[in-house]
Chain A
């Protein structure tokens, strides 16, 4: 308190400090800011699942691949297209260092056997005569290792698969592919493309939307506050908070992660509240005591607002700090720097408003039409609200209960899902290409199942191979699975070829000798590197690759359940099952993220109850105060369930933060109300005055934030739209919940004399000094 009044009395010093800090942080951001878009940087690398996956990836050479689709509507089996495929295959390898190996129709080998004549030959002989091409088509269609996997069954499209040894900018490849178009269409798909686009698009879209949010907010603030000066002060506060947050981040040389693009958004939503409440109190004081001097106005407004604003800032910061329990490093940084931003906004709000009074004199507020205190016939708007609340408490309770029940019902329908692809519009190129590949080929997503034992030659045992084969069959029953590939698949194919497709030959032979001899033959005639991708050198561990037509975590979970059901069979052979691949890591990552956010959500609830109870020295206030945010959470999840918005790491993040913000309304209400009551007001008077005073600020705050974030709902990037929609929803619920059910409950409990202690005579004891 002392600190604020003293500092506010020296407005030039304050301005200078703010300018100096802004300058330092601004320079630091300009020089040091690096955007980290590599999703690998998010992964907790020491997590056991990640370490196991990394090890298997290196053992079996599991790499992310970019898929280039070459489509010719009249069929790819013509000289021009085949030659083009061959040229692209060569050019990819030569022109891009990040490309480790390229597989295509023109590099693949065919193994076939007729009349005791075994042939291992490339499908593409280099000849493009009509006869050669139709022979190639016949051979492709007879070989399930390529038909439907690398060449679409209708013969109109084929995949060129480029395995990467390092990250590659998918956009460069997309532009590169354009030169090969006509009459063929080229499309680029695969996980690196999706991840790359996502990491780029999110921040890019936020960079476009963010200024729009600010402009809308400025307009709304000006309309609501009817004061250019307070609007400017508000914007200075929120921008300063953002500057501090990112400035410190860059000063400490911490890269900006994609999740951090949420920080400015959050800080605006939060920071505006502090300014609005300061404005509101100053406005109210001037109305009640028009003759206050500059100093008295500054000191008095500070005296009233220091406690609630510090309290609300602390509860919000706690919501963020709770995120630091996450196992994911960028989320921890996000929590830390968002909390720092919030606290600096709080400091600046408490300093800037009183300082502006010293510097610019008392503000002159115009009469506002939107003003709740304007006379409207019989009474003020807040009066009619109060009348409604107090006359029909049962109705309010009833409506609240109904909303709660619907919310809980909706919550029961919430499904957990994270999918990179779900972040793109259905008609976007990425989603369309993905759809195309999923329709024509095995799928764009992969899961690797790693089987490991310790006995050498374990995976030459027919029973083991048969167990793998039957598990693959079970997995392939799921329509989302395009195909599976393992050592068992190779052995079956080999058996069929060697037995010249006699009945039942597409199966695992019963003799281990025969399996070994097939493998030997395969090594000699095929390329041994192909085998190295499915089994290790000693035949002690194997890799089953599953192609999926979706990258949704819910889908992946179903597959994992099928795999888990065959664990006992493999346990009989002392084989353990683990998983690998970037798709699986992303799955584990989002599970971790989600788990962390649900924990931090519960954590912030508990902390907020305790904090409210401590601040108001009353546990009941703590519990009652969290009711609006509890309703907010239930409504949030309920709406997500009813609208089919999946709970993902992004939506969970917004929810937990929105709750941290939402509780502020309850704090402002309770603070003002208890002060009124302790100051001797009657029940009705206290409610009326609180609604009049705080209600106005709460509604202004909610309108400004909702209006600003409603803009995000027009974003081209679906996740940003979800952020916008959820913030609008949560702000509305929190504000409405605070101004209705909280009022009714407090009033009712007061009547029963179970709310506030009978008498606390000196309300000064509760002041923060």
Chain B
């Protein structure tokens, strides 16, 4: 992880840009906004270290560090993750392939102490991501066609102009209604609220830091708070890199056993 072109965007610059943008452009429809979000450039390849801090309802904390590698190629998103800490789970790894055509994911897990790779069947994107308050859905990008979207209003969050988009799930979901605060023109969320079937607030996602790295906006610090369970998970990203060269066999069972070396 050598050179890194991280440039902290000044809030003032952002504000000015977005004010100009919103004034000039007509407001896009809800579904247009969410398609923009979905199609936003997130780099074909990426690597980063995730620091995940999970706090339970009693205030106890578990911290985990994960090295994550990602590649989007030919309609397949490949992800490989290695636990770096705590030490007793070091090198435990996860490999997943998500398919754009809607096939269900392929997932593998490798436990170094067992020296075995297992395939995991998982259909549910609502499953918790690594035992955190995030679901796999929250971590990736949800297909816009799964919900009906409406722009409710414009709102300025921390000086940034956003569009507040209400998304109502078409299918059966844990949180059938969500509100997203999407940065107008840049198409990433700054804030998201998840509502339970009974209409009460279930969990909230807040973005505390984002950076522009290699011309891509990266959220480097976010926290999901489960209001009902009184738990929270903070994910920080470090050493973010884009445009990496992975050799063809990197996203493989073999690599899972080798560990986080390229």
Chain A residues with CB under 8 Å of chain B are 59, 113, 116-121, 457, 460, 498-499, 509, 511-514, 516-518, 520-521, 523-525, 527-528, 532, 536-538
Contacts and interface: CB of A to CB of B under 8 A. Distances in A.
B60 A117 contact: no
A621 B23 CA distance: 108
A532 B56 contact: yes
A109 to B, nearest CB: 11
Interface string B86-122: 1011001000000000000000010111101111111
Given A517-B111, A517-B114, A537-B58, A525 B89 contact: no
B83 interface: yes
Contacts of B122: 120, 525
Interface in B109-155: 109, 111-114, 116-122, 127-128, 130-131
Given A537-B60, A537-B62, A121 B88 contact: no
**Of listed B116, B130, B131, residue having the most chain A CB within 10 A:** B131
Contacts of A537: 56, 58, 60, 62
Given A118-B120, A525-B120, A538 B60 contact: yes
Interface in B55-75: 56, 58, 60, 62
A26 B83 CA distance: 73
A514 B118 contact: no
Contact of A523 (B88, B111, B112, B131): B131
B116 A520 contact: no
A117 B89 contact: no
B88 A117 contact: no
A460 B62 CA distance: 15
Contacts of B118: 113, 116-118, 498
Contacts of A518: 111
A750 to B, nearest CB: 75
Nearest to B130: A524
A118 B118 CA distance: 6
A117 B113 CA distance: 18
Interface string B38-81: 00000000000000000010101010000000000000000000
A514 B114 contact: yes
**Of listed A119, A457, A511, A524, residue having the most chain B CB within 10 A:** A524
B88 A521 contact: no
Given A116-B119, A117-B118, A512 B88 contact: yes
A528 B111 contact: no
Nearest to B62: A537
Contacts of A532: 56
B110 to A, nearest CB: 9
Contacts of B119: 116-118
Interface of B: 56, 58, 60, 62, 83, 86, 88-89, 92, 109, 111-114, 116-122, 127-128, 130-131
Nearest to A511: B113
- Which 9 A-B residue pairs are closest in the complex by CB-CB distance? A523-B131, A514-B113, A537-B60, A516-B88, A513-B113, A118-B118, A517-B111, A119-B121, A117-B119
Contacts of A59: 58
A494 to B, nearest CB: 10
24 contacts: A116-B116, A117-B118, A117-B119, A117-B120, A117-B121, A118-B118, A119-B120, A119-B121, A121-B121, A509-B113, A511-B113, A514-B113, A516-B86, A516-B113, A517-B88, A517-B89, A517-B114, A521-B111, A523-B130, A524-B128, A525-B120, A528-B131, A536-B60, A538-B60
A675 to B, nearest CB: 73
B111 A498 contact: yes
A342 B58 CA distance: 52
Contacts of A120: 120-122
B114 A524 contact: no
A498 B111 CA distance: 10
A369 to B, nearest CB: 77
Contacts of A527: 128
A528 B92 CA distance: 18
A499 B86 CA distance: 24
A460 B113 CA distance: 14
B88 A460 contact: yes
B114 A498 contact: yes
A499 B113 CA distance: 12
Contacts of A498: 111, 114, 116, 118
A56 to B, nearest CB: 13
B199 to A, nearest CB: 14
Contact of B88 (A119, A457, A509, A538): A457
Contacts of A514: 111, 113-114
Contact of B131 (A117, A513, A524): A524
Contacts of A512: 88
A313 to B, nearest CB: 56
A292 to B, nearest CB: 81
Given A514-B113, A517-B89, A524-B128, 18 more contacts: A117-B120, A117-B121, A118-B121, A119-B120, A120-B121, A498-B118, A499-B114, A509-B113, A517-B88, A520-B83, A520-B92, A521-B111, A523-B131, A524-B130, A527-B128, A537-B56, A537-B58, A537-B62
Contacts of A117: 118-121
A538 B89 CA distance: 15
Given A520-B92, A524-B128, A537-B58, A513 B121 contact: no
**Of listed B88, B117, B130, residue having the most chain A CB within 10 A:** B88
A469 to B, nearest CB: 19
B109 to A, nearest CB: 6
A520 B111 CA distance: 10
B60 A517 contact: no
Contact of A521 (B62, B86, B109, B127): B109
A520 B92 CA distance: 9
A377 to B, nearest CB: 86
Contacts of B86: 516
Contacts of A121: 121
B85 to A, nearest CB: 12
Contacts of A511: 113
Contact of A118 (B58, B92, B109): B109
A536 B113 CA distance: 23
Nearest to A519: B89
B128 A517 contact: no
Nearest to A525: B120
Contacts of B120: 117-120, 525
B82 to A, nearest CB: 12
B56 A517 contact: no
A309 to B, nearest CB: 62
Contacts of B111: 498, 514, 517-518, 521
A59 B56 CA distance: 11
A512 B89 CA distance: 10
Contact of B112 (A460, A499, A513, A536): A513
Contacts of B121: 117-121
B224 to A, nearest CB: 14
A381 to B, nearest CB: 76
Contacts of B92: 517, 520-521
Given A512-B88, A528-B128, A116 B113 contact: no
Contacts of A118: 109, 118-121
Nearest to B90: A513
Contacts of A524: 127-128, 130-131
Nearest to B253: A116
A165 B170 CA distance: 33
A514 B56 CA distance: 24
A13 to B, nearest CB: 66
Contacts of B109: 118, 521
Contact of B117 (A116, A517, A536): A116
Contacts of A520: 83, 89, 92, 131
Nearest to A119: B121
A155 to B, nearest CB: 26
